[in-house]
Structure 1
């Protein structure tokens, strides 16, 4: 009892001395903690979140014991408090932390600041008031005080930080090899407070510098739409960009495991069993998937507006929802996202975290045309981290690495099926004339044969094949519905993901330079693709899946 009383007295004494510091800490940690609470509701919290929290506490501990004059220390930290307030605003309004994604958008879309301020003015004022209250009261409490200083605690905090960053960097190097990409990946994952903001700023600066030429050209490029159809047609277009999803593991394409049970039973689905990517890397495949330019003209793909900008210019309200992180592997994808009027990121969450934002978009769509682009993590490695526990339906037949990997991968496809089914059901409920396009960026190797290949980037029948389909609502105008039946003829034909933008222009009645009828799946001029692709820095003019498959066997 006496020990408990002494502990209580000591705790009260510490709280009396440290309350200003704890108040300031609470503000700096608030974006991280609020996001952590949200993650508990919509996704499994992974180790990276706990790592971020631990690193944040170590930084704050180092700040506390670096000097006894904490008033001066926190005055110097004012810029970090201002950035933390932006972080808090994003968490409260978009459910996302301040990362390179938003910093990049801010750099490239600063002209939209006026519209943004008018839309979110009251929320910005509220966050600033919280900042003034916490920071002002905290500084007032620290003014004139000299707090306990400890070199031992400071050295412990700095040492632990070095170990923490070192271990994660070692892990990154093991995955990506030593080099600039490993450093940028470490920066992308560092969302600690307050100094993790420097990592995000550094990453943004690196990405911006590397692609400055393309950014300038994209901003200056114009979309020249020559005409749009006056006939009633698609009111809501949803384009879901998958990740590392190959048709070999979809029952929709003949796989024995029922991986997409919802899509298997869905009417209005036009599937493509021989769809190929233009590159076995996300950074190249996604821009190509959203461009009218052929893959051999990469400079044009990188420097002109994408399908997102085209639909915006055509009068559609455009949205970009992403559960992908912005890092050194994203290339120009952040620039494409910046073409949308509304962007929202759900980094380090399951793909299902974006469903609530998607539902709001659909519910608010009355009286306007919508184009919603959704970039998901899908089946990106590590496959076991792509789905909640309740989707672990498939279990390995044996304890072999191949069986474990295949089971986890199949579960990730099952979760993607749930996501796509949920998106389709929401479109049905809206009773709007709708179209959903799904295409993965590339496929994946799963230790399929004697080569023992895992992942993508190799350029073979497993990572160049992609799962893809189009779904149309049952209430489309008869003329358009009949035109879409042409897609049934394309099911077994060899198609490149680069055909989808040309096809969508026809479906939505948009005419513009760059359209090529030989790539349009609805045109009688369509020519089956030779599946050209980029591998490394070299352009490969064609790819024969059948020959490759025979060679592999």
Structure 2
């Protein structure tokens, strides 16, 4: 009790509160000093410069608590930053994280928040709330900072600022491309917010900026039978969990028995975020030329121009992103997320798409291009499949905890087993038509599931891991297709172990449909002899292309890349 009384007496002094607020306002900076790969000089500057600025701000009023309340938005940002550091262990809140706030649906948001609620409450009650309470006490106190105190510490803050600036300017490691707006918190977080707002504006203006674009698409090759091309966009599936790729559990028993199926073993996604990865899959954009996404239309329009009836069936709410804009280009867009499931926080199992596929095939006699966007293996894993697919047990996940890793992996593997069933059912339906059909499946990105000592989980982290990058990618060719165009099938088989990125999908799917456009490039098509292996790029947080092995991967990641024989390094 005596110690508590001393603490209470200590915080009734405005001078003491001034020093305490100065420290509390740079807590994220202190954490970054430990987590970020700064050179020591940049790390010191990233603490001293913000500290000096905070000290000046707190001296504006004679009661520093007033400024703390005015800086409430910063405390909210700081709280979110600390939560993200807990989740991912490194990096400032990214552009993609701000955009994810607007592109995630209620189900996704509810699942994530529900499972990290404890850490959210901890940050609020142990950091944000106490700070605001102390600010309230500061405002209520009769005591004020003296003029002499304010003048003295303003000069001290100036000295700290000069020391920080000197450390920053004299940093010897210029290979890091040191940038104030990227290295110093909260400047970097605010810059990322600005970048996100600018990008959201571009997304919103997409219909205007792409209004006059045309692919000049034409059908170069025509089958003697109706042609159906199906593109299935998967969610959060990692290749290492597919028995088709060598996983010890039988998670893809049906696909493993399919004739005419080619699976590509060395595939890297160009983004670990759905809102960037899927648009790359659906368009001619890639990490190397991502800006064209705002001036060009999607693969849906290309097939439509070539005379195909186009249908999109989505089991995720994607209407607020570029993905939704692309999907609305279809002749028919069926948004399953708009149908009632009984709760805002639940979604249909992916099997719900199958009756609609049946209906589309039966009601349309001409050529068809169908895009299916599934919920796949998105967390919560145990909610992604019906009870009869609960094969690996126990699979009831009580929360996102390392202690539940076994249950999480079991549930995740069951979701892959269900994906295997969905894809096999789709292939069966295509076989039954007797037409010239093909199906392409790949996932938008992978997932961390407490796989190593880093204890990482989920995806969309500012710096990805191997587990978020290596994805499954398959093409199934019907008997009729292989008879009509055997060379396309043969070249796909020949490229089975080639180094591939998600930017190959647009060109490969067009080639499957015999469609050529002004944007087609056969050197990206896995079904063409002209396919060219390139250095694989990752789309950075500011939409810049970065060699995927230079995005911050750790030794543990390179060990996994080697284990799964994935290619990296310049050619």
TM-score range normalised by the length of the shorter chain: 0.5 to 0.7
Residue in 2 that maps onto 1:387: 385
Residue in 1 that maps onto 2:350: 351
Give the TM-score taking structure 2 as reference length.
0.59
Q: What's the CA shift for 1:477?
A: 5.8
Say whether residues 1:437 and 2:440 are aligned partners: yes
1:386/1:510 CA distance change after superposition, 3 Å: same
Query: What secondary structure sits across from 2:312 in the alignment?
Result: strand
Query: What secondary structure sits across from 1:304 in the alignment?
Result: coil
Query: What secondary structure sits across from 1:285 in the alignment?
Result: helix
Say whether residues 1:481 and 2:486 are aligned partners: yes
Residue in 1 that maps onto 2:509: 504
| Structure 2 Cα separation of the partners of residues 186 and 440 of structure 1 | 19
Residue in 2 that maps onto 1:335: 325
The structure with the largest alpha-carbon Rg is 2
Give the TM-score taking structure 1 as reference length.
0.61
Q: Is the 8 A contact 1:405 1:446 kept in 2?
A: yes
Which moved further from structure 2: 241-250 or 300-309? 300-309
1:546/1:531 CA distance change after superposition, 3 Å: farther
CA offsets 1:364-386 (integer angstroms, 9 cap, x no match): 232x0000000000001111111
Q: What's the CA shift for 1:506?
A: 2.4
Say whether residues 1:464 and 2:508 are aligned partners: no
CA offsets 1:15-72 (integer angstroms, 9 cap, x no match): xxxxxxxxxxxxxxxxxxxxxxxxxxxxxxxxxxxxxxxxxxxxxxxxxxxxxxxxxx
Gap regions ≥5 residues in structure 2: 1-78, 88-92, 110-197, 338-346, 397-401, 562-571
1:217/1:410 CA distance change after superposition, 3 Å: same
Residue in 2 that maps onto 1:284: 276
Q: Is the 8 A contact 2:263 2:473 kept in 1?
A: yes
Q: Is the 8 A contact 1:311 1:318 kept in 2?
A: yes
Residue in 2 that maps onto 1:309: 301
1:379/1:180 CA distance change after superposition, 3 Å: closer
CA RMSD of aligned residues (A): 3.3
Q: Is the 8 A contact 1:396 1:404 kept in 2?
A: yes
Say whether residues 1:229 and 2:232 are aligned partners: no
| Structure 1 Cα separation of the partners of residues 483 and 104 of structure 2 | 50
1:523/1:475 CA distance change after superposition, 3 Å: closer
Residue in 1 that maps onto 2:287: 295
Q: Is the 8 A contact 1:228 1:314 kept in 2?
A: no
Residue in 2 that maps onto 1:411: 414
Say whether residues 1:539 and 2:544 are aligned partners: yes
Residue in 1 that maps onto 2:533: 528
| Structure 1 Cα separation of the partners of residues 532 and 404 of structure 2 | 41
Q: What's the CA shift for 1:538?
A: 4.8
| Structure 1 Cα separation of the partners of residues 432 and 263 of structure 2 | 23
The correspondence of residues 313-324 of structure 1 with structure 2, limited to 5 A, is: 313-324=305-316
Q: Is the 8 A contact 1:280 1:535 kept in 2?
A: no
**Equivalences, count:** 366
Say whether residues 1:495 and 2:494 are aligned partners: no
| Structure 2 Cα separation of the partners of residues 231 and 384 of structure 1 | 42
Say whether residues 1:549 and 2:557 are aligned partners: yes
Say whether residues 1:220 and 2:212 are aligned partners: yes
Q: What's the CA shift for 1:427?
A: 0.8
Residue in 2 that maps onto 1:56: none
1:504/1:179 CA distance change after superposition, 3 Å: closer
Q: Is the 8 A contact 2:507 2:520 kept in 1?
A: yes
CA offsets 1:169-215 (integer angstroms, 9 cap, x no match): x99x989999786588587899xxxxxxxxxxxxxxx9996623222
